[in-house]
Amino acid sequence: MAPSKSAVTPAVERARDESPSPSSPAPAVTRAAAVLDVLASSPSGRATLSDLARELGIPKSSTSNILQALEDTGLVARDGGDFSLGRKLVELGASYLSRRDEIREFYQFCAQAPTLAHETVRIALLDGDHVIYLARYEGHPAVRLTSTIGDKMPASLCGVGKALVARLHEHDWEEMYPDDAELPTLTPYSIATGKAFKAELRRIKEQGYAFEDEESTIGVVCLAVPVPTRGAHGPNLGVSVTALKATFTEGQKTSMIAELKELARALGNPMG
Protein backbone atom coordinates (compact mmCIF):
# COMPACT_ATOMS: atom_id res chain seq x y z
CA MET A 1 0.00 0.00 0.00
CA ALA A 2 1.37 3.41 -0.93
CA PRO A 3 2.19 5.80 1.91
CA SER A 4 -0.35 8.43 2.84
CA LYS A 5 0.22 11.84 1.25
CA SER A 6 -2.02 13.77 3.59
CA ALA A 7 0.90 15.23 5.53
CA VAL A 8 4.24 16.07 3.93
CA THR A 9 6.98 16.64 6.48
CA PRO A 10 9.80 19.19 6.04
CA ALA A 11 12.24 16.30 5.62
CA VAL A 12 10.21 14.95 2.70
CA GLU A 13 9.99 18.41 1.09
CA ARG A 14 13.77 18.82 1.32
CA ALA A 15 14.39 15.32 -0.01
CA ARG A 16 12.43 16.12 -3.16
CA ASP A 17 15.12 18.62 -4.12
CA GLU A 18 17.93 16.64 -5.74
CA SER A 19 20.38 19.55 -5.72
CA PRO A 20 22.38 20.54 -2.61
CA SER A 21 20.53 23.19 -0.61
CA PRO A 22 21.78 25.67 1.99
CA SER A 23 18.96 24.44 4.24
CA SER A 24 20.41 20.92 4.20
CA PRO A 25 24.18 20.72 4.78
CA ALA A 26 23.93 16.91 4.48
CA PRO A 27 21.38 16.01 1.75
CA ALA A 28 21.90 12.26 2.17
CA VAL A 29 20.97 12.49 5.84
CA THR A 30 17.94 14.62 4.97
CA ARG A 31 16.76 12.05 2.46
CA ALA A 32 17.31 9.21 4.93
CA ALA A 33 15.20 11.07 7.50
CA ALA A 34 12.53 11.56 4.85
CA VAL A 35 12.45 7.81 4.16
CA LEU A 36 11.85 7.17 7.86
CA ASP A 37 9.12 9.84 7.91
CA VAL A 38 7.32 8.22 4.97
CA LEU A 39 7.50 4.77 6.53
CA ALA A 40 6.24 6.12 9.85
CA SER A 41 3.24 7.80 8.19
CA SER A 42 2.31 4.83 5.99
CA PRO A 43 -1.09 3.40 7.07
CA SER A 44 0.29 -0.14 6.73
CA GLY A 45 3.68 0.68 8.22
CA ARG A 46 5.28 -0.57 5.01
CA ALA A 47 6.28 0.77 1.61
CA THR A 48 8.02 -0.54 -1.50
CA LEU A 49 11.05 0.99 -3.18
CA SER A 50 8.77 2.39 -5.88
CA ASP A 51 6.42 3.88 -3.27
CA LEU A 52 9.28 5.63 -1.51
CA ALA A 53 10.95 6.92 -4.66
CA ARG A 54 7.62 8.29 -5.91
CA GLU A 55 6.74 9.87 -2.56
CA LEU A 56 10.15 11.51 -2.20
CA GLY A 57 10.46 12.47 -5.86
CA ILE A 58 13.99 11.07 -6.21
CA PRO A 59 15.38 8.31 -8.48
CA LYS A 60 14.96 4.67 -7.49
CA SER A 61 18.74 4.23 -7.54
CA SER A 62 19.21 6.95 -4.92
CA THR A 63 16.32 5.61 -2.84
CA SER A 64 17.77 2.09 -3.03
CA ASN A 65 21.14 3.28 -1.77
CA ILE A 66 19.51 5.10 1.15
CA LEU A 67 17.43 2.04 2.06
CA GLN A 68 20.49 -0.20 1.96
CA ALA A 69 22.37 2.09 4.34
CA LEU A 70 19.37 2.29 6.68
CA GLU A 71 18.90 -1.48 6.57
CA ASP A 72 22.60 -2.06 7.34
CA THR A 73 22.26 0.03 10.50
CA GLY A 74 18.99 -1.56 11.62
CA LEU A 75 16.94 1.61 11.12
CA VAL A 76 14.90 -0.04 8.36
CA ALA A 77 13.83 -3.68 7.97
CA ARG A 78 13.17 -5.47 4.69
CA ASP A 79 10.52 -8.13 4.17
CA GLY A 80 10.56 -9.24 0.55
CA GLY A 81 9.85 -6.13 -1.50
CA ASP A 82 8.51 -4.14 1.43
CA PHE A 83 10.37 -1.90 3.85
CA SER A 84 9.37 -0.91 7.38
CA LEU A 85 10.91 0.83 10.35
CA GLY A 86 13.62 -1.21 12.06
CA ARG A 87 14.15 -2.27 15.66
CA LYS A 88 17.14 0.01 16.09
CA LEU A 89 14.69 2.90 16.23
CA VAL A 90 13.10 1.35 19.32
CA GLU A 91 16.50 1.20 21.01
CA LEU A 92 17.14 4.84 20.13
CA GLY A 93 13.63 5.64 21.31
CA ALA A 94 14.38 3.96 24.63
CA SER A 95 17.32 6.29 25.12
CA TYR A 96 15.10 9.25 24.26
CA LEU A 97 12.29 8.07 26.54
CA SER A 98 14.69 7.78 29.47
CA ARG A 99 14.90 11.58 29.40
CA ARG A 100 11.17 12.22 29.07
CA ASP A 101 8.92 13.47 31.85
CA GLU A 102 6.80 10.31 31.69
CA ILE A 103 9.81 8.11 32.40
CA ARG A 104 10.84 10.40 35.23
CA GLU A 105 7.37 9.84 36.63
CA PHE A 106 8.03 6.11 36.44
CA TYR A 107 11.18 6.52 38.52
CA GLN A 108 9.42 8.86 40.95
CA PHE A 109 6.56 6.40 41.43
CA CYS A 110 8.95 3.53 42.11
CA ALA A 111 11.02 5.58 44.56
CA GLN A 112 7.91 6.39 46.62
CA ALA A 113 6.19 3.00 46.46
CA PRO A 114 6.50 1.10 49.77
CA THR A 115 7.48 -2.21 48.15
CA LEU A 116 8.74 -1.37 44.65
CA ALA A 117 11.21 1.18 46.05
CA HIS A 118 13.32 -1.71 47.29
CA GLU A 119 13.21 -3.83 44.13
CA THR A 120 14.22 -3.67 40.46
CA VAL A 121 11.35 -2.43 38.26
CA ARG A 122 11.28 -2.18 34.46
CA ILE A 123 9.12 -1.08 31.51
CA ALA A 124 9.26 -3.20 28.35
CA LEU A 125 7.86 -3.08 24.83
CA LEU A 126 6.63 -6.19 23.02
CA ASP A 127 8.28 -6.47 19.60
CA GLY A 128 7.11 -9.63 17.86
CA ASP A 129 8.16 -12.55 20.06
CA HIS A 130 10.72 -10.47 22.01
CA VAL A 131 10.57 -7.63 24.51
CA ILE A 132 12.81 -4.57 24.57
CA TYR A 133 13.41 -2.88 27.92
CA LEU A 134 12.75 0.87 27.89
CA ALA A 135 13.43 1.92 31.50
CA ARG A 136 14.79 0.35 34.68
CA TYR A 137 14.52 1.46 38.30
CA GLU A 138 17.36 0.18 40.49
CA GLY A 139 15.98 -0.56 43.93
CA HIS A 140 17.84 -3.77 44.72
CA PRO A 141 21.57 -4.01 43.90
CA ALA A 142 21.54 -7.80 44.16
CA VAL A 143 19.56 -8.23 40.90
CA ARG A 144 21.54 -5.91 38.63
CA LEU A 145 22.57 -8.79 36.39
CA THR A 146 19.07 -8.92 34.90
CA SER A 147 18.18 -7.13 31.63
CA THR A 148 18.62 -3.38 31.41
CA ILE A 149 17.55 -0.51 29.11
CA GLY A 150 17.78 -1.43 25.42
CA ASP A 151 18.24 -5.16 26.05
CA LYS A 152 16.11 -7.68 24.14
CA MET A 153 14.72 -10.87 25.60
CA PRO A 154 12.53 -13.65 24.15
CA ALA A 155 9.04 -13.04 25.48
CA SER A 156 8.68 -16.63 26.64
CA LEU A 157 11.63 -16.24 29.01
CA CYS A 158 10.51 -13.27 31.09
CA GLY A 159 7.54 -12.26 33.20
CA VAL A 160 6.79 -9.07 31.28
CA GLY A 161 6.99 -10.91 27.96
CA LYS A 162 4.51 -13.50 29.19
CA ALA A 163 2.16 -10.78 30.48
CA LEU A 164 2.24 -8.97 27.13
CA VAL A 165 1.79 -12.04 24.94
CA ALA A 166 -1.06 -13.20 27.20
CA ARG A 167 -3.18 -10.22 26.23
CA LEU A 168 -2.89 -10.98 22.52
CA HIS A 169 -5.62 -12.98 20.81
CA GLU A 170 -5.29 -16.75 21.10
CA HIS A 171 -5.09 -16.92 17.30
CA ASP A 172 -1.84 -14.99 17.61
CA TRP A 173 -0.59 -17.47 20.19
CA GLU A 174 -1.16 -20.33 17.79
CA GLU A 175 0.68 -18.56 14.99
CA MET A 176 3.60 -17.45 17.16
CA TYR A 177 3.93 -20.59 19.27
CA PRO A 178 2.87 -23.86 17.62
CA ASP A 179 2.62 -26.77 20.04
CA ASP A 180 5.84 -28.34 18.76
CA ALA A 181 7.84 -25.07 18.74
CA GLU A 182 11.13 -25.35 20.62
CA LEU A 183 11.56 -22.18 22.66
CA PRO A 184 14.90 -20.71 23.80
CA THR A 185 15.92 -21.64 27.35
CA LEU A 186 18.31 -20.10 29.85
CA THR A 187 17.74 -22.23 32.95
CA PRO A 188 16.28 -25.68 33.73
CA TYR A 189 13.04 -23.86 34.63
CA SER A 190 12.57 -22.06 31.29
CA ILE A 191 9.42 -22.95 29.35
CA ALA A 192 10.69 -25.07 26.48
CA THR A 193 7.73 -25.71 24.14
CA GLY A 194 4.96 -23.77 22.50
CA LYS A 195 2.34 -26.05 24.06
CA ALA A 196 3.63 -25.43 27.59
CA PHE A 197 3.90 -21.70 26.94
CA LYS A 198 0.29 -21.42 25.79
CA ALA A 199 -0.86 -23.27 28.91
CA GLU A 200 1.03 -20.67 30.94
CA LEU A 201 -0.57 -17.82 28.95
CA ARG A 202 -4.03 -19.14 29.80
CA ARG A 203 -3.15 -19.11 33.51
CA ILE A 204 -1.92 -15.53 33.20
CA LYS A 205 -5.16 -14.40 31.53
CA GLU A 206 -7.13 -15.91 34.40
CA GLN A 207 -5.08 -14.45 37.24
CA GLY A 208 -4.34 -11.04 35.70
CA TYR A 209 -0.56 -11.06 36.16
CA ALA A 210 2.47 -13.08 35.09
CA PHE A 211 4.92 -14.86 37.38
CA GLU A 212 8.40 -15.89 36.28
CA ASP A 213 10.07 -18.41 38.58
CA GLU A 214 13.84 -18.61 37.85
CA GLU A 215 13.09 -18.98 34.14
CA SER A 216 15.69 -16.47 32.94
CA THR A 217 17.98 -16.12 35.97
CA ILE A 218 18.56 -18.68 38.72
CA GLY A 219 17.60 -17.30 42.11
CA VAL A 220 15.43 -14.50 40.69
CA VAL A 221 11.64 -14.30 40.39
CA CYS A 222 9.58 -11.72 38.52
CA LEU A 223 6.01 -10.42 38.51
CA ALA A 224 4.57 -8.44 35.59
CA VAL A 225 1.38 -6.77 34.35
CA PRO A 226 0.51 -5.04 31.06
CA VAL A 227 0.21 -1.26 30.85
CA PRO A 228 -3.20 -0.06 29.60
CA THR A 229 -2.73 1.16 26.03
CA ARG A 230 -4.62 4.18 24.74
CA GLY A 231 -5.82 3.79 21.18
CA ALA A 232 -6.08 0.75 18.94
CA HIS A 233 -2.54 1.08 17.59
CA GLY A 234 -0.63 2.00 20.75
CA PRO A 235 2.54 0.13 21.72
CA ASN A 236 2.21 -3.06 23.75
CA LEU A 237 3.88 -2.08 27.04
CA GLY A 238 4.28 -3.83 30.39
CA VAL A 239 5.91 -3.30 33.78
CA SER A 240 7.69 -5.89 35.88
CA VAL A 241 9.44 -6.23 39.21
CA THR A 242 12.20 -8.72 40.04
CA ALA A 243 13.18 -10.03 43.45
CA LEU A 244 15.45 -12.61 45.01
CA LYS A 245 13.65 -15.92 45.44
CA ALA A 246 15.42 -16.62 48.72
CA THR A 247 13.64 -13.70 50.41
CA PHE A 248 10.42 -13.70 48.36
CA THR A 249 7.21 -14.15 50.37
CA GLU A 250 3.50 -14.37 49.59
CA GLY A 251 2.95 -11.08 51.41
CA GLN A 252 5.59 -9.42 49.26
CA LYS A 253 3.96 -10.90 46.15
CA THR A 254 0.57 -9.41 47.07
CA SER A 255 2.09 -5.97 47.67
CA MET A 256 4.11 -6.09 44.44
CA ILE A 257 1.11 -7.00 42.29
CA ALA A 258 -0.99 -4.22 43.81
CA GLU A 259 1.73 -1.61 43.28
CA LEU A 260 2.53 -2.84 39.76
CA LYS A 261 -1.11 -2.47 38.77
CA GLU A 262 -1.18 1.02 40.25
CA LEU A 263 2.01 1.90 38.37
CA ALA A 264 0.58 0.54 35.13
CA ARG A 265 -2.55 2.67 35.50
CA ALA A 266 -0.44 5.74 36.31
CA LEU A 267 1.81 5.30 33.28
CA GLY A 268 -0.97 4.63 30.81
CA ASN A 269 0.98 4.95 27.59
CA PRO A 270 4.33 6.83 27.92
CA MET A 271 4.90 6.62 24.15
CA GLY A 272 1.45 7.90 23.22
Which of 86, 120, 136 terminates a domain? The answer is 86
Q: Could you give the CA distance from residue 17 to residue 193 in angstroms, rounded to a whole number?
A: 53
Between 142 and 22, residue with greater pLDDT: 142
- Same-domain check for residues 122 and 66: no
- Same-domain check for residues 120 and 216: yes
Which of 49, 65, 86 terminates a domain? The answer is 86
- Same-domain check for residues 74 and 94: no
5 part of a folded domain: no
145 part of a folded domain: yes
- Same-domain check for residues 229 and 128: yes
- Same-domain check for residues 69 and 128: no
- Under 8 Å CB-to-CB from 243, ≥6 apart: which residues? 119, 120, 140, 143, 220, 221, 222, 252, 256
- Same-domain check for residues 94 and 203: yes
- Which tens digits make up the pLDDT trace of 205-260? 999 999 999 999 999 999 999 988 755 455 688 999 999 999 999 999 999 999 99
Measure Cα distances from 43 to 1, 63, 82, 154 in Å: 8, 20, 13, 28
- Same-domain check for residues 232 and 142: yes
Domain that holds residue 175: 89-267
Query: Do residues 37 and 9 make contact, with C-beta atoms less than 8 angstroms apart?
Result: yes
Q: Could you give the CA distance from residue 87 to residue 185 in angstroms, rounded to a whole number?
A: 23
- Same-domain check for residues 158 and 188: yes
Which of 68, 86, 104 terminates a domain? The answer is 86
Under the banding of pLDDT at 50, 70 and 90, the label for residue 4 is very low
Under the banding of pLDDT at 50, 70 and 90, the label for residue 151 is confident
Please list, residue by residue across 223-243, b when 16 or more beta carbons sit within 10 angstroms of its beta carbon and e when fewer do: bbbbbebeeeeebbbbbbbbb
4 part of a folded domain: no
**What letter represents residue 247's amino acid?**
T
- Same-domain check for residues 150 and 220: yes
Task: Choose the weakest-confidence range: 34-48, 58-72, 97-111, 250-264.
Answer: 97-111
Task: Choose the weakest-confidence range: 3-7, 87-91, 171-175.
Answer: 3-7
Mean pLDDT of 122-126: 91
**Per-residue pLDDT, 266:** 86
272 part of a folded domain: no
Q: Is the pLDDT of residue 2 over 50?
A: no
38 part of a folded domain: yes
Q: Of 235, 240, 233, nearest to 215 (Cα)? A: 240
- Which tens digits make up the pLDDT trace of 159-198? 999 999 999 999 999 999 999 999 999 999 999 999 999 9
CATH code, domain carrying 59: 1.10.10.10
Q: Is the pLDDT of residue 142 over 50?
A: yes
